[in-house]
Amino acid sequence: MKEILTDFQFTKNRKISDEFKRPFLNEDWYWEALSISGLKLLEDLYKHDALQTNIAKAYMRQVILSRDLLGKVGLIIGRSTKTHDAKDIKQQLENVFEITFKGQLKSAFDIFKNYEEYKIYMKFRQPILSNLRTIYLENQSARLQNNE
Protein backbone atom coordinates (compact mmCIF):
# COMPACT_ATOMS: atom_id res chain seq x y z
CA MET A 1 0.00 0.00 0.00
CA LYS A 2 2.75 2.43 0.99
CA GLU A 3 4.70 1.84 -2.21
CA ILE A 4 1.62 2.59 -4.33
CA LEU A 5 0.60 5.73 -2.45
CA THR A 6 4.11 7.20 -2.49
CA ASP A 7 4.84 6.27 -6.13
CA PHE A 8 4.88 9.27 -8.44
CA GLN A 9 3.86 7.04 -11.37
CA PHE A 10 0.68 6.06 -9.49
CA THR A 11 -0.30 9.46 -8.08
CA LYS A 12 0.82 11.39 -11.20
CA ASN A 13 1.65 14.27 -8.90
CA ARG A 14 4.93 14.71 -7.00
CA LYS A 15 3.27 16.88 -4.34
CA ILE A 16 0.65 14.20 -3.60
CA SER A 17 3.20 11.37 -3.45
CA ASP A 18 5.41 13.47 -1.12
CA GLU A 19 2.35 14.23 1.01
CA PHE A 20 1.72 10.49 1.43
CA LYS A 21 5.34 9.87 2.51
CA ARG A 22 5.15 11.98 5.67
CA PRO A 23 2.49 9.99 7.56
CA PHE A 24 4.42 6.75 7.08
CA LEU A 25 7.20 8.25 9.21
CA ASN A 26 4.80 8.84 12.11
CA GLU A 27 4.61 5.75 14.35
CA ASP A 28 1.12 6.46 15.71
CA TRP A 29 -0.24 6.96 12.22
CA TYR A 30 1.52 3.80 11.04
CA TRP A 31 -0.17 1.62 13.68
CA GLU A 32 -3.57 3.15 12.99
CA ALA A 33 -3.14 2.59 9.25
CA LEU A 34 -2.05 -0.98 9.92
CA SER A 35 -5.18 -1.57 12.01
CA ILE A 36 -7.45 -0.11 9.36
CA SER A 37 -5.75 -2.13 6.62
CA GLY A 38 -6.19 -5.30 8.65
CA LEU A 39 -9.85 -4.53 9.26
CA LYS A 40 -10.45 -3.86 5.55
CA LEU A 41 -8.79 -7.19 4.73
CA LEU A 42 -11.06 -8.98 7.21
CA GLU A 43 -14.12 -7.22 5.79
CA ASP A 44 -13.21 -8.30 2.26
CA LEU A 45 -12.69 -11.87 3.42
CA TYR A 46 -16.04 -11.77 5.22
CA LYS A 47 -17.87 -10.41 2.16
CA HIS A 48 -16.37 -13.20 0.02
CA ASP A 49 -17.25 -15.85 2.64
CA ALA A 50 -13.55 -16.64 3.05
CA LEU A 51 -13.27 -16.47 6.85
CA GLN A 52 -12.73 -19.92 8.30
CA THR A 53 -13.83 -19.68 11.92
CA ASN A 54 -17.09 -18.85 13.64
CA ILE A 55 -15.37 -16.32 15.89
CA ALA A 56 -13.94 -14.41 12.92
CA LYS A 57 -17.30 -14.46 11.14
CA ALA A 58 -19.18 -13.31 14.25
CA TYR A 59 -16.61 -10.60 14.95
CA MET A 60 -16.86 -9.18 11.45
CA ARG A 61 -20.65 -9.43 11.39
CA GLN A 62 -20.78 -7.47 14.67
CA VAL A 63 -18.34 -4.81 13.41
CA ILE A 64 -20.23 -4.33 10.14
CA LEU A 65 -23.65 -4.20 11.82
CA SER A 66 -22.41 -1.78 14.49
CA ARG A 67 -20.80 0.50 11.92
CA ASP A 68 -23.96 0.48 9.79
CA LEU A 69 -26.18 1.29 12.76
CA LEU A 70 -23.79 3.96 14.01
CA GLY A 71 -23.78 5.57 10.54
CA LYS A 72 -27.57 5.65 10.44
CA VAL A 73 -27.78 7.11 13.94
CA GLY A 74 -25.15 9.68 12.95
CA LEU A 75 -27.29 10.78 10.01
CA ILE A 76 -30.30 11.18 12.30
CA ILE A 77 -28.28 13.21 14.80
CA GLY A 78 -26.88 15.37 12.00
CA ARG A 79 -30.29 16.06 10.49
CA SER A 80 -31.99 16.77 13.80
CA THR A 81 -29.32 19.20 15.00
CA LYS A 82 -28.56 20.83 11.64
CA THR A 83 -30.96 23.76 11.89
CA HIS A 84 -30.43 24.29 15.61
CA ASP A 85 -27.46 25.59 17.51
CA ALA A 86 -27.00 22.24 19.20
CA LYS A 87 -23.27 21.54 18.93
CA ASP A 88 -23.04 20.50 22.59
CA ILE A 89 -26.03 18.16 22.34
CA LYS A 90 -24.72 16.71 19.09
CA GLN A 91 -21.31 16.02 20.67
CA GLN A 92 -22.91 14.48 23.76
CA LEU A 93 -25.09 12.20 21.64
CA GLU A 94 -22.10 11.14 19.54
CA ASN A 95 -20.12 10.38 22.71
CA VAL A 96 -22.96 8.34 24.22
CA PHE A 97 -23.39 6.29 21.06
CA GLU A 98 -19.66 5.73 20.66
CA ILE A 99 -19.31 4.53 24.26
CA THR A 100 -22.41 2.35 23.92
CA PHE A 101 -21.27 0.70 20.70
CA LYS A 102 -17.75 0.09 21.98
CA GLY A 103 -19.19 -1.46 25.15
CA GLN A 104 -21.55 -3.62 23.12
CA LEU A 105 -18.70 -4.82 20.93
CA LYS A 106 -16.52 -5.60 23.94
CA SER A 107 -19.35 -7.54 25.59
CA ALA A 108 -19.91 -9.53 22.42
CA PHE A 109 -16.25 -10.49 22.27
CA ASP A 110 -16.14 -11.51 25.93
CA ILE A 111 -18.33 -14.43 24.87
CA PHE A 112 -15.45 -15.82 22.80
CA LYS A 113 -13.00 -16.09 25.70
CA ASN A 114 -13.81 -19.75 26.24
CA TYR A 115 -13.25 -20.74 22.61
CA GLU A 116 -10.03 -22.59 21.78
CA GLU A 117 -9.30 -20.21 18.89
CA TYR A 118 -9.32 -17.22 21.25
CA LYS A 119 -7.06 -18.99 23.75
CA ILE A 120 -4.55 -19.75 21.00
CA TYR A 121 -4.61 -16.12 19.88
CA MET A 122 -4.02 -14.91 23.45
CA LYS A 123 -1.13 -17.35 23.83
CA PHE A 124 0.61 -15.90 20.77
CA ARG A 125 -0.59 -12.30 21.04
CA GLN A 126 2.62 -10.87 22.53
CA PRO A 127 4.96 -12.56 20.02
CA ILE A 128 2.71 -11.34 17.18
CA LEU A 129 2.81 -7.76 18.49
CA SER A 130 6.55 -8.01 19.06
CA ASN A 131 7.14 -9.22 15.51
CA LEU A 132 4.99 -6.42 14.08
CA ARG A 133 6.99 -3.87 16.10
CA THR A 134 10.28 -5.39 14.89
CA ILE A 135 9.11 -5.19 11.27
CA TYR A 136 8.13 -1.55 11.78
CA LEU A 137 11.46 -0.64 13.39
CA GLU A 138 13.45 -2.44 10.69
CA ASN A 139 11.51 -0.59 8.00
CA GLN A 140 12.09 2.73 9.77
CA SER A 141 15.80 2.00 10.08
CA ALA A 142 16.09 1.07 6.40
CA ARG A 143 14.13 4.16 5.42
CA LEU A 144 16.41 6.43 7.44
CA GLN A 145 19.52 4.83 5.94
CA ASN A 146 18.16 5.31 2.42
CA ASN A 147 17.39 8.98 3.09
CA GLU A 148 20.89 9.76 4.34
How far is it, in rounded angstroms, from Cα 49 to Cα 54? 11
pLDDT at 125: 92
pLDDT single digits (tens) 69-94: 888 887 887 787 777 777 787 788 77
pLDDT at 6: 58
The least confident of 15-24, 72-81, 92-101, 127-136 is 15-24
How far is it, in rounded angstroms, from Cα 132 to Cα 102? 25
Closest to 34 measured CA to CA, from 135, 121, 127: 135
Contact yes or no for 90/81 (Cβ under 8 A): yes
Phi, psi of 48 (to 5 degrees): -100, 15
pLDDT single digits (tens) 23-70: 767 778 878 888 888 889 999 999 999 999 888 898 899 888 888 888
Fill in the DSSP letter of residue 112.
Answer: G
How far is it, in rounded angstroms, from Cα 102 to Cα 106? 6
Contact yes or no for 7/17 (Cβ under 8 A): yes
